[in-house]
Amino acid sequence: MATTKLWKFKSRLDRLIDYTMNGEKTENKLFVSGINCMPDTAFLEMTNSKKQFFKNGEIECFHGYQSFAEGEVTPEQAHEIGVKLAEELWGDKFQVVVSTHINTDNIHNHFVLNSVSFLDGKRFCNTKKDYALMRKTSDKLCTEYGLSILKQEEKYDKYATSSLYKELMKDSIDYAIATSKNYNEFIKILEDLDYIVTNKNNSLSIRREPYKRNTRIERQFGNHYSKENIYKRILETQTRFPYSPESYLLINRTRENYEKLNLKKDSLAWLFLHYMKLLHPHTENVLKTNVTRMTPTLLHAIKEMNEFSERVRFLCKYNLETDVDVMEFKKSAYQKLTPLKSERENLWRKHKRTNTDDEKKVIEEKIVNLSKQISPVDEEIGICNNILKRVKEIKKFELHQKLEQEKQEQKEQKTIKKENTKKSR
């Protein structure tokens, strides 16, 4: 059995996509799929569809979910059902990202549905008829997979206090924290998700109609969801800058620039540039032309080239030639990070003890400034992890290329040998 919901979304599309595709929730994006788009470039593709038809309205997209009863499906089944649901409902006209979150007792799918059709530029309206069709299609798929179906009269009463309702509530709170830029926006996002929010005695409670009982979120989900810690989590996310889609299009011609540096052969920077040539030998020529339509393949190639360019710049900037150099740099970054995070925690403790709003504001400014110092170091550690991961992939790729080349040479030698044998006869 699965419950479904779909609602309009007016906030930042990039943040919503990043949230739903979160690697910790989707097994490192194993359970993420794109319908008429590639997940990693979905924001850019959806934005381009809007620009193409001049449809930049206030509704960015529609956000939906499909949640299954505890223990009823495997992650693979849930994702397969979610993809089939999205394809049947919207696959002919709209771009959709389907993400299956497996970090809760109730496995559930998230749908990010572009508000504008890539095919004809028409807007998706989400009428009662659309939602009824979503419910009906979900039930049909559940039946096909041998899952139970929730009867209409049981729809709320049976599950009003179930773990399913609580898990969806927790997921909604996490989403609101991750996508809001201040506490008021956090409340607004919860209300947009059809929750009724009550702030009483410094305690936050929410519920969704037709349920009548409020849920005190700190009591239900722990101290991490206290009003103070929610405020803290929101403030600390403000220094995280989401990727800019335009950056994917500003590809520097790095090969020519870095070849002038006479990089050491087999250094990491040389390895990355060499690998980039093998992966996308024709991309730069395509980019020099007037491209009128960015295909998913080209977008993926551009993104991957941009990533490799950034890694090469990073390696050259800090003169990191081997994976040992990268690990040492990462270790040094952690040594910088630890005292900064410790200082920030101390400021939060001081913030908790402070009574006046003016003093709190001063402390918050210090926290934001510290977070600005922490973020780039955090980012450098992430780059180091990515480089080390990529190095393993490159070495596997090169080994595969070498083996393929050896096979081809052996094949050519056999052919030559056969031809020589024929001539000798």
Query: Do both 61 and 86 map to the same domain?
Result: yes
pTM of the model: 0.52
Query: Do both 133 and 219 map to the same domain?
Result: no
Residues constituting the chain:
425
Q: What is the pLDDT of residues 209-247, one digit of tens each?
A: 767 788 999 988 888 898 888 988 888 765 543 333 333
pLDDT of 89 higher than 90: yes
Q: Flag whether 264 is in a domain.
A: yes
Query: Do both 177 and 118 map to the same domain?
Result: no
Q: How confident is the model at residue 297 (pLDDT cuts 50, 70, 90)?
A: low
Nearest alpha-carbon partner for 164 in 177, 155, 152? 155
The mean per-residue pLDDT over the stretch 371-392 comes to 85
Query: How is residue 158 written in tokens?
Result: 């049976």
Q: Are 283 and 302 within 8 A, CB to CB?
A: yes
The mean per-residue pLDDT over the stretch 188-194 comes to 81
Query: Do both 13 and 124 map to the same domain?
Result: yes
Number of domains composing the chain: 3
pLDDT reported for residue 87:
94
pLDDT of 153 higher than 50: no
Query: Do both 67 and 128 map to the same domain?
Result: yes
Q: Flag whether 410 is in a domain.
A: no
Query: Do both 258 and 214 map to the same domain?
Result: no
Sheet architecture: strand order including 2-9 = 2-9, 61-68, 108-114, 96-101, 32-35
Q: Flag whether 419 is in a domain.
A: no
Q: What is the pLDDT of residues 92-142, one digit of tens each?
A: 999 999 999 988 778 899 999 999 999 889 999 888 888 889 999 999 999
pLDDT reported for residue 150:
63
Packing angle, helices 183-192 and 227-236, rounded to 10 = 100
CA 8, chain centre distance (Å): 19
Query: Do both 205 and 120 map to the same domain?
Result: no
CA distances from 256 to 253, 261, 263, 304 (A): 6, 9, 12, 18
Q: How confident is the model at residue 398 (pLDDT cuts 50, 70, 90)?
A: low
Nearest alpha-carbon partner for 112 in 63, 46, 43? 63
**Residue type at 94 in one-letter notation:** F
Query: How is residue 328 written in tokens?
Result: 């040492």
Percent of the chain whose predicted confidence (pLDDT) is above 70: 78
The mean per-residue pLDDT over the stretch 197-209 comes to 85
Domain holding 74: CATH number? Answer: 3.30.930.30
Q: Is the peptide bond before 210 cis (omega within 30 degrees of 0)?
A: yes
Query: Do both 189 and 301 map to the same domain?
Result: no
Using DSSP's 3-state secondary structure scheme, residue 37 falls into coil
Query: Do both 145 and 170 map to the same domain?
Result: no
DSSP per-residue codes, 118-167 = TTT-PBP---HHHHHHHHHHHHHHHHHTT-----GGGTTGGGTTSHHHHH
Nearest alpha-carbon partner for 380 in 322, 314, 304, 319? 314
| Containing structural domain, residue 281 | 245-395
Final residue before a domain boundary, out of 243, 262, 290: 243
Query: Do both 250 and 210 map to the same domain?
Result: no
Query: Do both 21 and 124 map to the same domain?
Result: yes
Q: Are 384 and 322 within 8 A, CB to CB?
A: no
**Residue type at 29 in one-letter notation:** K
- Give phi and psi for 385, each to the nearest 5: -60, -40
